[in-house]
Amino acid sequence: MKLTLKVWRQQNSQDKGRFESYQVSDVSTDMSFLELFDVLNERLINEGKDPIAFDHDCREGICGACSMYINGRAHGPWHETTTCQLHMRAYNDGDTIVVEPWRAAAFPVIKDLAVDRSAFDRIIQAGGYISVNTGNAVDANAIPIDKVDADAAFAAAACIGCGACVAACKNSSAMLFTSAKISQLALLPQGRPEHKQRAEDMVAQMDKEGFGSCTNTGACEAECPKGISITNIARLNREFITAGFTSK
Amino acid sequence: MLDAKIPAGPLETKWSKYKSTVKLVNPANKRKLEVIVIGTGLAGASAAAALAELGYKVKAFCFQDSARRAHSIAAQGGINAAKNYQNDGDSVFRLFYDTVKGGDYRAREGNVYRLAEVSAAIIDQCVAQGVPFAREYGGLLSNRSFGGTQVQRTFYAAGQTGQQLLLGAYSALQRQVSLGNVKMYNRHEMLEIVKVDGKARGIIARDLVSGKLERHFGHAVLICSGGYGNVFFLSTNAMGSNVTAAWKAHKQGAYFGNPCFTQIHPTCIPVSGDHQSKLTLMSESLRNDGRIWVPKKKDDNRKATDIPEEERDYYLERRYPAFGNLVPRDVASRAAKERCDAGYGVGASKMAVYLDYAEAIVRYGKIEASKKSLDHASEQEIIAMGKAVVAEKYGNLFDMYAKITGENPYETPMRIYPAVHYTMGGLWVDYDLMTTVPGLYALGEANFSDHGANRLGASALMQGLADGYFVIPYTIGNYLADEIHTKPIPLDHPAFVEAEKAVKGQLDTLMGIQGKHSVDHFHKALGKIMWDKCGMARNAKGLQEAITEIQALKEEFWKDVRIPGKQEEFNPELEKAGRVADFLELGELMCKDALQRNESCGGHFREESQTEDGEAKRNDDEFAFVAAWEYKGPSSSELHKEPLTFDIVHPSQRSYK
């Protein structure tokens, strides 16, 4: 296949940035989307040009590092798929593909397609944990947990923190990310003692980072590579409102 | 003489006696002691969190943009623990025994027993943190079985166990960050160990965004930077996984243990072309229900589903009736290679075997039908119900396979082939997890200690968390108790100045070469040499050739590598170049180690040393030792031997027949 790539190039956070076009030929349908970028970068290096910077690591859809906005969609066209798992058989000969970084005020661009997502770490620091020190635990089977709740907690915990939800949202809201962690811990008995404080603190941190409000349109769920449900946002809202009425 | 410092006394009481007699540091002094942790995977994150909880001042570094992305996140199958929740006869002793045997008698009994002993507490700790392990309808934890064992002791969270455990450790770490006990440095790479009076006292790190070098002091430094499988270029490791932190430590005096012990995982998705950047693992848990086979006829080009049952060779079940498809990884990998080399491979490349779920789907479907009293369920209904069960157990793995290959594994068998996955070798450490440099520790995959010559499935997660949560918090006190009078060393101390100058010098050199070839060009060339000559099967001639070839490649690299951009900016190519420079040196050492170990054991298969039916043949008289290599300058290393003694488990030819 022959493809045209229009890629966002931005030298650093201060640079204004612009699109640049690249023609790539001999694209195999077995290639992953990031392997296409490897091939293009190899060529740019050989031509003495600056390769395109992008975040990536595990290349099996679990680390959450890769973060390309492809033809107007976070992680491209495939359902529940990260950029690294997207393969070129999704495209046809002659296609033009536009690739941008996540665009959100809370995710400043570092270079080209790589953005700074440390705001997510700070949201977790605000309360995305259970306050238990090492060595304090009781026997694991001393706390039976309803399988339905355990499965729902797992489904929420499957979030990979990639930020696609923010990129897909017209308000750049981080509600899906934040609610996934709040839900996971709220559904488990171990997480109950701190649940009110957790909801209040994590939401406050999310606002402080400059993420927008929830649009209730569900773009986040539609684009989430792990299929995290917006039911979690409903649960966050319930947790947050209950906390507001009842916390001491 | 290398002293592992294994405590005296009976195996079962070594660790408890150690814990009750080890030196302690009082809380007021802990506040004054600083610990640097390199890497935030299971070992690093758990160690950083646990030490901060105790009151130490911790600085944690990772090259990723967040601690949560460390490669432990990609572990799929599970974590072992001797809980015996299934009442199937498991015990600390059995986990210990399976691990020593699985490691082909090349691990220390004392270390392995401790690992088995603390395994149960890891599960308790993770559940307390909110790790959502799989559960039964009664609300209790579920288990499954893994290769190399005959009990069900593996805890799991679908095919994402590593993710869930890492996020547990990450959340504990972030909690300590919020409490001000840990200072976190994302997008930082450690490039040198700073030693003062022979002790590790800090690091030089590069801020990967600004490209600037930084000096950091610590009373102790913990290397938790994972394994070095990426020396092969193609492996299941993340693209960024590297040996640099461990290798810099090695060059500063830490011995490197058993570098040639690499694990080739039997169930990975085969290579599809030259563009391939990494390989994807399909969890070993798939071997619980899947059956592995090749056609009985050579060069059989029929579709898998067109090959009738009687023309299929279920070679693992045939060769190893007792363990069948659940033989340990090294055995399964070699058996696949043997079939493919003999001409029975499948797929376009002929370098693959089938992993088939057809039978499991029918079996589960029948169980469902019987549960629902559907005595007259049609074959179609049974298959549909069976697929639903398989989807619940392995759905995410099947989806992953479908995305990569474009084939539907519920309908047609998966094609798999072995790939480099884990490295048992690593920095040599004693019972305290301290390297041969005082104050410098190595935890998790970065050390060599517990898996011998072959790691059993679901044991890497166990070891990483054991080291971080339950071992280092005790053993580090043994060293730091004597350091309470050491004041933080000023960063303008000559040792820091010199170390930074050396790092800067190497970066300047790399940037200045401006040659013709990209870093990946050299990395791929190195990977090919390693895979061909130091991979699943090795022989003296090939290893000698590999050493010569790597030396030549190294010379070419330092003359002809091209790194675009500038040093003081975000420059991923420069990061890669530094890592490949270290891989080139490591690759040579791995070949030297493989050459001196003229026996087959675990993942290390020397063609000169095999039984009549092609199984690995150990040589306990000559090779029952840990090979610990001391760095003596470029291409020069000295071998030290730590003898291994077995008081409890008697080494025998491993048999899974």
pLDDT in tens, B477-486: 999 999 999 9
Answer whether A45 sits within 8 Å of B573, measured CB to CB. Answer: yes
**Structural domain range at position A219:** 118-246
- Tell whether A172 and A196 lie within a shared domain: yes
B135 touches chain A (CB under 8 A): yes
Note the pLDDT tens digit of each residue in B310-354: 999 999 999 999 989 988 888 899 999 999 999 999 998 899 999
Answer whether B400 sits within 8 Å of A124, measured CB to CB. Answer: no
* β-strand partners of B616: B610
- Tell whether A158 and A47 lie within a shared domain: no
Nearest to B273 among A30, A65, A117 (CB): A30
- Tell whether A205 and A126 lie within a shared domain: yes
B322 touches chain A (CB under 8 A): no
Best of A30, A32, A39, A57 to substitute, by most chain B Cβ atoms within 10 angstroms, is: A57
Using a 10 angstrom Cβ sphere, with 0-12 exposed, 13-18 middle and 19 or more buried, the burial of residue B599 is buried
- Tell whether A100 and A156 lie within a shared domain: no
Q: Which amino acid is at B1?
A: M
Angle between helices A195-208 and A175-187 (to 10 degrees): 170
Answer whether B564 sits within 8 Å of A124, measured CB to CB. Answer: no
B329 given a catalytic annotation = yes
A173, pLDDT greater than 70:
yes
- Tell whether A127 and A239 lie within a shared domain: yes
Closest-CA residue of B relative to A41 is B518
Nearest to B139 among A48, A59, A145 (CB): A145
User: Torsion-angle region of residue B435: left (phi > 0), alpha (psi -120 to 50) or beta?
Assistant: beta
In total, how many domains does chain A have?
2
pLDDT-derived band at B592 (thresholds 50, 70, 90) equals very high
Q: Which residue has the tokens 């884990």?
A: B422
User: pLDDT above 90 covers what percent of chain B?
Assistant: 91
Q: Which residue has the tokens 């992993």?
A: B355
Three-state SS letters, B175-229: HHHHCCCEEEECCEEEEEEEEECCEEEEEEEEECCCCCEEEEECCEEEECCCCCH
Question: What mean pLDDT is predicted for residues B178-201?
Answer: 98
CB–CB of B45/B67 below 8 Å?
yes
Looking at A64, A83, A111, the residue that finishes a domain is A111
- Tell whether A128 and A230 lie within a shared domain: yes
pLDDT-derived band at B146 (thresholds 50, 70, 90) equals confident
Looking at A111, A145, A167, the residue that finishes a domain is A111
CATH of the domain at A29: 3.10.20.30
CATH of the domain at A180: 1.10.1060.10
Rounded Cα distance, A230 and B147, in Å? 38
The C-alpha of B69 sits at a distance from chain A's nearest C-alpha, in angstroms, of 5
**Mean pLDDT of all residues in chain B?**
96
- Enclosing H/E stretch for B172: helix B161-178
CB–CB of A6/A98 below 8 Å?
yes
Q: Which two tokens stand for residue B31?
A: 């506040």
pLDDT at B148: 75
Note the pLDDT tens digit of each residue in B594-637: 999 999 999 999 999 999 888 889 999 999 999 999 999 999 99
Answer whether A124 sits within 8 Å of B171, measured CB to CB. Answer: yes
The C-alpha of A234 sits at a distance from chain B's nearest C-alpha, in angstroms, of 21
pLDDT at B147: 75
Closest-CA residue of B relative to A146 is B139
Answer whether B66 sits within 8 Å of A188, measured CB to CB. Answer: no
Contacts of B184 in chain A (CB under 8 A): 121
Exactly one of B329, B339, B538, B597 is catalytic; which is it?
B329
B68 touches chain A (CB under 8 A): yes
Looking at A47, A82, A111, the residue that finishes a domain is A111
pLDDT at B288: 86
Rounded Cα distance, B474 and B466, in Å? 12
- Tell whether A144 and A63 lie within a shared domain: no
The number of C-beta contacts closer than 8 angstroms across A and B is 221
pLDDT-derived band at A248 (thresholds 50, 70, 90) equals low
Answer whether B403 sits within 8 Å of A42, measured CB to CB. Answer: no
Best of A14, A129, A183, A198 to substitute, by most chain B Cβ atoms within 10 angstroms, is: A129
CB–CB of A24/A2 below 8 Å?
yes
- Tell whether A167 and A138 lie within a shared domain: yes
**Mean pLDDT of all residues in chain A?**
97
Distances in Å between the alpha carbon of B456 and those of B104, B131, B388, B423? 10, 23, 29, 12
- Tell whether A172 and A89 lie within a shared domain: no
The C-alpha of A27 sits at a distance from chain B's nearest C-alpha, in angstroms, of 9
Note the pLDDT tens digit of each residue in A54-71: 999 999 999 999 999 999
Residues 405-464 of chain B with CB under 8 A from chain A are: 406
Contacts of B570 in chain A (CB under 8 A): 12, 53, 110-111, 114
pLDDT at B615: 86
- Tell whether A127 and A197 lie within a shared domain: yes
- Tell whether A93 and A137 lie within a shared domain: no
B101 touches chain A (CB under 8 A): no
Q: Which two tokens stand for residue A187?
A: 């559904």
Note the pLDDT tens digit of each residue in B415-474: 999 999 999 999 999 999 999 999 999 999 999 989 999 999 899 999 999 999 999 999
Q: Domains of chain B by range and CATH?
A: 265-270+283-420 (3.90.700.10), 494-611 (1.20.58.100)
Note the pLDDT tens digit of each residue in B74-131: 998 899 999 999 999 999 999 999 999 999 999 999 999 999 999 999 999 999 999 9
* Sheet of strand B291-295, all strands in order from the earlier edge strand to the far edge: B262-268, B414-423, B353-356, B291-295, B312-313
- Tell whether A106 and A129 lie within a shared domain: no
Nearest to B124 among A61, A121, A137 (CB): A137
Contacts of B521 in chain A (CB under 8 A): 42
